[in-house]
Amino acid sequence: MRLYLINPSNALVSIVNVKESRWNRYRVWKPLSLMVLAGLTPPEWEISIVDENLSTPDYGAMPRPDLVGITAFTSQANRAYEIAAYFHNLGVPVVMGGIHATMCLNEVMERADSVVTGEAESIWPQVLEDARHGNLNRRYDGGLAEMNDVPLARHDLLSSGYAFGAIQTTRGCPLNCSFCSVTAFNGARYRQRPIPDVVREFQSIREKRVLVVDDNLIGTHPEHIARAKDMFRAMAQANLRKEWVSQATINFADDEELLMLAAKAGCRGVFIGFESPSPEGLREVGKKFNLLKGRDFRDSVRRIQRHNILVVGSFIIGLDIDERGVGKHIAEVARQYGMDNLNVLFLTPLPGTRLWDKIKSEDRIALDTFPEDWKYYTLTFPVARYKHLSLDGIIEEMTSCERDFYSMPRILCRALGNLLYRRQPLISLVGNLSYRRNIRLNGEAYANFKSYSGNRHN
């Protein structure tokens, strides 16, 4: 039995425009979902994982599969449907799963033979068994997995072409920020994988550099943090010789022992959602942790960096409180906080989030011709109508923010600082140049977007 597991491309996602900018090679990540599905698949299936982000194969020249599984974020849905139609027309059954299938079930059911909602661990073997007997159900629901059931991902199936490996050690996030799909999809209960599984899986990854895809690496409660420390100790003890980056909330900075253990275990960078430079903005998005009274963000960032861990900060433009000047303000605040990299995204109502419900109820979704418009739901296009910013206005804010933070003098200044403190100057420089290079690419993408979206923002 032959199984293809496919990760669809989206040409609009600038980070996959590898050919446009060679720096982007360092920002193409493995589709871990498919490697996990492969890990759940019994040996009688011959599996190929196709990541269209690297290249799109000539499916016609490949042997005919018995089953096709397609994953999709919302931004990949259009291409996913094209692939589904292609194989369906050949008479090959197509199963779709992942976040978009879960949040937009009806839309996906119209375009795939079978749909799996939720996490797949409890249900995928059943799906395969039914497919083997030509007896696929239209819909399966995996719910939330027990972390003991998460298999070791099949890293051997995508062993070249990437600068980073990928692994997951926890799922879920209790914070439920309004714009984020994680709590809606993976639940508010913070679930941690058994530490020996994490260590064993790390050992099976070939790449020296790894993305730990956890949304919230250390969690929020003292027992989460205690477990994170145990995991870092076990990783250091196993002498993995890996360098890794992950995502965390700002409370990562609050525990010296945690930082020390993370660095010892190989942590070299964290992606932290700061979201808004103002308390009103934080309240608007419901980012409770960042609202802690008396937090000195500059000091928090510095404490992390002292452990040779780079800090990439993320902000959102387009909140209801955002007015003209917000772009420059964010760049200024990011500089004050001392971030190594800044990632700014447009406020985007993703299906299934609280933000979606709010923006939809206010009739402010500008790009609402679905499924065609999903391709713009990359967080890098302003798909909504914003309270105080027109389409041109919000694009100008984004551009001025990036031009300011990624001006050559500022990049050199950060690189020199990192050189001085021996804080991975090369990695930091590559990261900065990659973002800078994408400013021009983004400019072209905005021009095309404006002509596509016409007057739908008015």
Check binding of 282 to ligand SF4 (CB under 6 A).
no
* Candidate ranges 123-131, 170-178, 388-396, 446-454; the one touching ligand SF4 (CB under 6 A): 170-178
Check binding of 168 to ligand SF4 (CB under 6 A).
no
Single out the residue of 32, 309, 333, 347 in contact with ligand B12 (rule: CB under 6 A).
Answer: 32
191-220 residues near ligand B12, rule: CB under 6 A? 213, 215
- Of the candidates 132, 149, 87, 133, the one whose C-alpha atom is nearest the C-alpha of residue 113 is 87
233-272 residues near ligand SF4, rule: CB under 6 A? 249
Q: Residue 272 is which amino acid? A: I
Among residues 97 and 266, whose Cβ is nearest to ligand B12?
Answer: 97
Check binding of 33 to ligand B12 (CB under 6 A).
yes
Rounded CA-CA distance 287/62 in Å is 47
- Of the candidates 299, 218, 220, 293, the one whose C-alpha atom is nearest the C-alpha of residue 261 is 218
Check binding of 186 to ligand SF4 (CB under 6 A).
no
Q: What angle do CA 21, 318, 11 make, to 5 degrees?
A: 30
Binding mask 152-181 vs ligand B12 (x if CB under 6 A, - otherwise)?
----------------x-----------xx
Check binding of 173 to ligand SF4 (CB under 6 A).
yes
Check binding of 182 to ligand SF4 (CB under 6 A).
yes
Is there a contact between 68 and 203 (Cβ–Cβ < 8 Å)?
A: no
The H or E element spanning position 247 is: strand 243-248
Check binding of 176 to ligand SF4 (CB under 6 A).
yes
CB closest to ligand B12, residue no: 97
What the block records as the tokens of 89 is 């027309």
Q: Residue 196 is which amino acid? A: P
* Candidate ranges 177-185, 250-258, 392-400, 430-438; the one touching ligand SF4 (CB under 6 A): 177-185
- 103 makes contact, choosing from ligand SF4, ligand B12, none, with CB < 5 to 8 Å by partner type, with ligand B12
| Helix ranges (DSSP H) in 187-253 | 195-203, 222-237
Q: Which residue has the tokens 């720096």?
A: 23
Among residues 213 and 285, whose Cβ is nearest to ligand B12?
Answer: 213
- Burial class of residue 25 in the structure, from the number of CB atoms within 10 Å of its CB (0-12 exposed, 13-18 middle, 19+ buried): middle
The H or E element spanning position 212 is: strand 209-212
Is there a contact between 308 and 424 (Cβ–Cβ < 8 Å)?
A: yes
Among residues 338 and 380, whose Cβ is nearest to ligand B12?
Answer: 380
* Candidate ranges 173-181, 336-344, 415-423, 438-446; the one touching ligand SF4 (CB under 6 A): 173-181
Is there a contact between 295 and 364 (Cβ–Cβ < 8 Å)?
A: no
Check binding of 300 to ligand SF4 (CB under 6 A).
no
243-248 and 94-97 beta bridge pairing: unpaired
Check binding of 214 to ligand SF4 (CB under 6 A).
no
- Of the candidates 308, 299, 281, the one whose C-alpha atom is nearest the C-alpha of residue 336 is 299
CB of 145 to ligand SF4, least distance (A): 17
Is there a contact between 359 and 449 (Cβ–Cβ < 8 Å)?
A: no
Cα dihedral angle (209, 213, 215, 216), rounded to 10 degrees?
Answer: -50
Q: Residue 25 is which amino acid? A: R
Single out the residue of 3, 37, 265, 429 in contact with ligand B12 (rule: CB under 6 A).
Answer: 37
Put residue 138 in one of left, alpha, beta given phi > 0 → left and psi -120 to 50 → alpha: alpha
CB of 351 to ligand SF4, least distance (A): 15
Single out the residue of 4, 17, 73, 432 in contact with ligand B12 (rule: CB under 6 A).
Answer: 73
Is there a contact between 30 and 166 (Cβ–Cβ < 8 Å)?
A: yes
Check binding of 56 to ligand SF4 (CB under 6 A).
no
CB of 161 to ligand SF4, least distance (A): 28
Among residues 152 and 433, whose Cβ is nearest to ligand B12?
Answer: 152
Q: Give the footprint of ligand SF4 on this chain (CB under 6 A).
A: 173, 175-177, 180, 182-183, 215-216, 249, 273
Q: Give the footprint of ligand B12 on this chain (CB under 6 A).
A: 7, 10, 13, 16, 29, 31-33, 36-37, 53, 69-71, 73-76, 95-100, 103, 116, 119-121, 124, 145, 168, 180-182, 186, 213, 215, 350-351, 378-380
